[in-house]
């Protein structure tokens, strides 16, 4: 993360980057620190573009950057893996693996203010697609009422789930985790393509910023083209047998 210019204290960002590495370096490449790095860079790009579009809009860049950096901390799909990677089984450690508080705790432990820590935790807790599907109006309300940075971080994370990178991540995720997430009797690669229609191609319509929407349009088209190639080749192999 060293190459990026950060508006929050350099040392806080550096300490939290080290925390992210310690939690996520062992994850499969769909959710490793390189994904986080792309989301931070994407969030900075969207932030700059949104500020240029509307100079009156106010986003706290420290909140954007820290929330982007920490957005996948506490991901329930990986939490047991994070727990296993540490030999410390004390009550302290267990408490620090609570997905609803671990970002806030880590920020407080590194000297962030209670306000900043709570704000970043709230954003991180509401970034995911699953959370949004459960209650879309709650997300909209948060964005409008004090958490505009959520829109930027969410869009940056979703842009990494579509386009060429999204295709790479989807196959990587199922290659690494498949047996846990693919229904009995289905092949991992077929499930990956199914995931395009079930989720990935819907993300464009859920973008929260104008900049994110424009970028998502291009990347979603790439998904559709790829899926077309896939179906064509599948049809050819079916036809040739
Ligand atoms: P979010 O950050 O919105 O919660 P996830 O972390 O669940 O998204 O997923 C990020 C990426 O990992 C997805 O875009 C996809 O490529 C892959 N992925 C996650 N869950 C699945 C799944 N059940 N099937 C296929 N791919 C998945
Ligand atoms: Ni993510």
| Full DSSP string of 58-113 | ---HHHHHHHHHHTTTT-TTTHHHHHHT----SHHHHHTT-TTTHHHHHHHHTT--
Amino acid 239: pLDDT: 53
Q: Go through 33-57 and write b for each residue having 16 or more CB atoms within 10 A of its CB, e for each that does not.
A: bebbbbbbbbbbbbbebbeeeeeee
Q: How many CB atoms lie within 10 A of CB 129?
A: 16
Question: Nearest ligand to the C-alpha of residue 153?
Answer: 2
Question: Is 109 within a domain?
Answer: yes
Question: Is 83 within a domain?
Answer: yes
Instruction: Compute the mean pLDDT over every residue in the chain, rounded to the nearest whole number.
Output: 92
Question: Is 18 within a domain?
Answer: yes
Question: Is 146 within a domain?
Answer: no
Question: Nearest ligand to the C-alpha of residue 201?
Answer: 1
Question: Is 105 within a domain?
Answer: yes
Domain range for residue 18? 1-125
Question: Is 149 within a domain?
Answer: no
Amino acid 207: pLDDT: 98
Question: Is 100 within a domain?
Answer: yes
Q: ipTM of this predicted complex?
A: 0.92
157 lines ligand 1 (CB under 6 A): yes
Interval 133-154: pLDDT, tens: 999 999 999 999 999 999 999 9
Interval 95-128: pLDDT, tens: 688 999 999 999 999 999 999 999 999 999 999 9
Atom of ligand 1 nearest to the CA of 30: 12
Question: Is 166 within a domain?
Answer: no
Ion ligand 2, residues whose Cβ is below 5 A away: 72, 157
- Quick check: 20 and 33 in contact, CB under 8 A? yes
Give the count of domains, the chain.
Answer: 1
CA of residue 172 to ligand 1 center, whole Å: 10
């Amino acid at each position: 993360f060293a190459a990026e210019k950060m508006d929050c204290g350099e040392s806080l960002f550096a300490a939290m980057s080290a925390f992210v590495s310690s939690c996520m370096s062992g994850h499969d490449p769909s959710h490793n620190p390189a994904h986080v790095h792309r989301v931070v860079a994407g969030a900075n790009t969207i932030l700059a573009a949104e500020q240029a579009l509307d100079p009156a809009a106010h986003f706290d860049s420290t909140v954007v950057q820290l929330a982007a950096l920490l957005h996948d901390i506490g991901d329930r799909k990986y939490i047991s893996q994070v727990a296993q990677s540490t030999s410390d089984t004390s009550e302290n450690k267990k408490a620090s693996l609570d997905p609803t508080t671990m970002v806030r705790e880590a920020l407080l432990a590194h000297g962030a203010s209670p306000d900043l820590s709570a704000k970043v935790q709230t954003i991180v807790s509401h970034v995911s697609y699953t959370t949004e599907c459960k209650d879309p109006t709650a997300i909209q309300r948060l964005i409008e009422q004090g958490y505009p940075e959520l829109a930027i971080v969410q869009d940056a994370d979703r842009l990494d789930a579509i386009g060429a990178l999204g295709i790479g991540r989807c196959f990587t995720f199922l290659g690494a985790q498949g047996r846990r997430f693919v229904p009995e009797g289905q092949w991992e690669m077929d499930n990956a393509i199914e995931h395009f229609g079930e989720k990935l191609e819907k993300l464009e319509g859920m973008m929260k910023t104008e900049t994110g929407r424009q970028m998502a349009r291009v990347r979603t088209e790439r998904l559709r083209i790829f899926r077309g190639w896939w179906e064509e080749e599948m049809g050819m192999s079916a036809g040739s047998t």
